[in-house]
Amino acid sequence: MTNLGFIGLGIMGKPMASHLLVAGHTVHVYDVVSEAVQELASKGAVACSSSKEVAQKSDVIFIMVPDTPDVEAVLFGKDGVAEGIKAGSIVVDMSSISPIATKGFAKKLDAMGVKMLDAPVSGGQVGAEKATLSIMVGGQPEVCEQIKPYFELMGKNIVLIGGNGDGQTCKVANQIVVALTIEAVSEALLFTSKAGADPAKVREALLGGWAQSRILDLHGGRILERKFAPGFRIRHQQKDLNLALQSARSLGLSLPGTAIAQELFNAVVAQGGIDLDHSAMVLALEALANHKVSE
């Protein structure tokens, strides 16, 4: 059986790696947080002391870390994957990072005889825990087919978008839709409450019509219940929107709605909410209205 590696055992990475373990695979794991490594080791994973060691012992290396510089450090930094990887191995980056940087990483790895897939995900912590993630893949079709059985242990909707970097482009598009839908749901529930209607009843009605969405369902519930413990932190949503806005500038493209959503997140961050769930965007709109959706 193929030896697997998994680097990055945070809110998303830990359950994703766990699904590979439960399926009976040998999984070599590393994270800068040693407690996460030990937790998975207690479930049968092989603990490693560096990304380099993971690469030395694995044929397929999955990466799930926060941002572009983190992926670069994991791959090409001191004691990184590049120092230990064997020709013929495959790197699968499931982080959400820059499409442009991803293309560069793939070229560097290809020169070492290593194939790469970018495979960012959507579905949040719940999707990671339930193995229902949507996985957006960039890379060669034959490499995607080789890795697909592992993807199927972590997600349900697996789509090859195109070449290296296209998976990341798709994820940026996903995050634009997510941010703007959170903004729309927040405005709708705030309007409802200010107008004197019951926002819970309005949400129930909307879920049966054209306005229904997963965000109205899950995040609408969070807003009504004031439950902003993170499933997906504002800091990570902001990082993804920065990627969207930076890419748009390089393309000569205006994304006004995305820019407004980012400013609303900035307002929540200014009040100390950077690690709240991204559904907490509603707090900025509530402050502007001097009214809360629900107490």
Active-site residues, by number, are 171
For 193-216, letters b (16+ CB in 10 Å) and e give beeeeebbebbeebeeeeeebebb
Element (H, E) at 137: strand 133-138
Cβ atoms of 176 and 258 closer than 8 Å: yes
Handedness of CA 217, 95, 65, 88 (dihedral sign): positive
- Radius of gyration of the CA atoms of the chain, in A: 20
The Cα angle at residue 43 between residues 8 and 26, in degrees rounded to 5: 70
Q: Token digits for 253?
A: 């493209």
Rounded Cα gap, residues 69 and 92, in angstroms: 16
